[in-house]
Amino acid sequence: MSSVQIGINFAYIISAIMFIIGLKMLSSPVTARRGNLLSALGMLLAIVVTLFAQGLDYKWIILGIVIGSVIGIITAYKVAMTSMPEMVALFNGFGGLSSLLVAWAEYYQYPDMSVFIATVAALSVFIGGVTFTGSMIAFGKLNGSIPSKAVIFKGQHIINAAFLLIIIVATGLFAMDAAATYWVFLIIVAVALAFGVTSVIPIGGADMPVVISLLNSYSGLAACAAGFVISNNILIVAGALVGASGIVLTKIMCKAMNRSLANVLFSGFGSTTHAASGDGPQGETRPASAEDVYYILEAADSVAFVPGYGLAVAQAQHVTKELGDLLEANGTEVMYAIHPVAGRMPGHMNVLLAEANVPYDQLVEMDDINPRMESIDVCVVIGANDVVNPAAIQDENSPIYGMPIIETFRAKTVIVLKRSMNPGFAGIQNALFYAENTRMYFGDAKSSLQALVAEFKSGN
Amino acid sequence: MEAVFLTFVFVLTIFLGFELISKVPSTLHTPLMSGSNAISGITLIGALATLKTEHTNFAIALGTLAVIFATINVVGGYAVTDRMLEMFKKKDKGGAK
């Protein structure tokens, strides 16, 4: 190792420390922003010192960095907060693609790879390829250009199993004699890209928090594998950190839905609306007008908003906050109860409400609000359905039985803002809508809330 | 031997990652994801290292593409995370619009 290389590697250690401390600082809203900045500086340091390596072709490096930075900055500042899930999916996919390309370029230049290096190169291509196309499918599902329902096709599991088998055999062949098997390498590239599509397309929209977390983990592992290919410590350390964080998030999301990862990935949940809607909860709903709801809220001492994906669709976060402020001015205690899988990515609702300037100390987690639910006067459910469905507790035959929910049905009054009586993602009816203490306030969430705000303003 | 050493680093870091992340509150899950996503753009370092003057044209082309995509991941990822975190405020500092 030359002295330049040793210097570079020492700088990488400093970068790794900055990543680790940066991630640690992300665990509190007070320090999170500085943590992210620290991590970015760590990245900058790693990039700059890498440029000191000998024999680099700077004109292509500059070209690539300039193009990438311009695209990155523009998309990052143009994207609306409601579109954050698809943005993360997109960036994530690009990271995976880059790891694939790195392994490819390295192999193309030095085809005479050892068994170990060839194996990790194949892994890098496989994980990177799956991350790329999988993220692109997730991106399409999240922004609506692909139907977000689970798409099930015949022989799905067989095809996926066949793909995996091909990958294992091809990796074996490739590792034995990398230099002579360029065609095998190309097969691995093609199958990886195809597998990303076939493995994500059967997963429905509301399961996206799990998928995005998992793809996030993959992109880290792909970088890790690329790090093994070029024997680079910082890629391995940073990649492993991201891989681990993605796995932790995936576990949290699965737990919040009371389903196993295998069930989320393979069951095609939500692809069929359960035919049993006939024997679901039935009865009279109690519709309410804006004026009725106004009187209920006006008299309440404590109000908990329970947002779901419908809030994001209707872009209703600002008007929700406006209503919350009016309630507070009226002497009501206001909080926002957030289910871990509400929305399309982990923490989706928190980001939207933060955008609307809701202070984070008013955001209450599910486990904190449920024990005191009886003492809450009014729960306002905005565009959430399955995460407040009492069937998860009361109906052993329900497909969502056992899933932790925000137990709004135990509040004194529940107001449900909903466009229509259509069932939610899980395709099951919600007994909450027929309960004695529930009032249905039909309409688009945003205009419904605006009507309430108007009532308050004219009432005061 | 180097393979063993690198695997050692990998395994230890995975455990460190589990410890670090399990403490993040759910409020910050989205920024955590997009921030860690930006870190996964570290593959940019690998992409830079593949762009050597002595390399063939095709390898250079692959490397340049890798640099472009990884840079989008890094720059976009950090910028978007910063935008999000800027919005997380406490009550006394924030206030209504």
The answer to whether residue B67 is domain-embedded is yes
Q: Does B25 sit within 8 Å of A40, measured CB to CB?
A: no
The answer to whether residue B47 is domain-embedded is yes
Same domain, A194 and A338: no
For chain A, what percent of residues have pLDDT higher than 70? 96
- The stretches of A270-386 forming alpha helices (DSSP H) are 290-298, 309-313, 317-329, 348-355, 366-369
Same domain, A221 and A364: no
> Which residues, 6+ apart, have CB-to-CB distance to A279 below 8 Å?
none
Minimal Cα–Cα distance from B1 to chain A, Å? 11
A170 Cα distance to chain centroid: 32
Higher pLDDT, A44 or A281: A44
* pLDDT at A13 exceeding the cut of 90: yes
The answer to whether residue B70 is domain-embedded is yes
Cα nearest neighbour of A117 on chain B = B3
For residue B27, give the nearest of A314, A53, A353, A413 by alpha carbon: A353
Using CA atoms, how far residue A184 sits from A103, A121, A137, B93, in Å, is 14, 12, 25, 59
* pLDDT at B92 exceeding the cut of 60: no
Looking at A266, A300, A335, the residue that finishes a domain is: A266
The answer to whether residue A32 is domain-embedded is no
pLDDT at A131: 96
* pLDDT at A447 exceeding the cut of 50: yes
Average pLDDT over every residue of A272-298: 72
For chain B, what percent of residues have pLDDT higher than 70? 91
The answer to whether residue A393 is domain-embedded is yes
pLDDT, tens digit, 9 for 90 and up, residues A68-81: 999 999 999 999 88
Same domain, A164 and A299: no
pLDDT at A220: 95
The answer to whether residue B4 is domain-embedded is no
If residue A438 lies in a helix (H) or strand (E), which one and from where to where?
strand A438-442
Domain that holds residue A240: 79-266
The answer to whether residue A51 is domain-embedded is no
> Which residues, 6+ apart, have CB-to-CB distance to A357 below 8 Å?
A321, B87, B89, B94, B95, B96, B97
Residue holding tokens 């998928």?
Answer: A211
Number of domains chain B contains: 1
The answer to whether residue A98 is domain-embedded is yes
Residue A418 in 3-state DSSP?
strand
Number of domains chain A contains: 2
Residues B49 and B63: their CA atoms lie apart, in Å, by 9
Minimal Cα–Cα distance from A379 to chain B, Å? 20
The answer to whether residue B48 is domain-embedded is yes
Q: What is the mean pLDDT of chain A?
A: 89
Same domain, A301 and A221: no
The answer to whether residue B2 is domain-embedded is no
Looking at A233, A266, A299, the residue that finishes a domain is: A266
Report whether B60 contacts A331 (CB < 8 A): no
The answer to whether residue B17 is domain-embedded is no
Average pLDDT over every residue of B41-54: 93
Cα nearest neighbour of B41 on chain A = A95
Higher pLDDT, A423 or A249: A249
Same domain, A114 and A207: yes
Q: Does A95 sit within 8 Å of B40, measured CB to CB?
A: yes
Q: What is the DSSP letter of B73?
A: I
CB contacts, 8 Å: A216 with chain B: 33, 36-37, 40
Burial B60-80 (b: 16+ CB within 10 A, else e): bebbbbbbbbbbbbbbbbbbb
Looking at A220, A239, A266, the residue that finishes a domain is: A266
Domain that holds residue B54: 27-87
* pLDDT at A260 exceeding the cut of 60: yes
Same domain, A297 and A244: no
The answer to whether residue B53 is domain-embedded is yes
Cα nearest neighbour of A213 on chain B = B33
Per-residue confidence band for B64, with pLDDT thresholds at 50, 70 and 90: very high
What's the predicted TM-score (pTM) here? 0.88
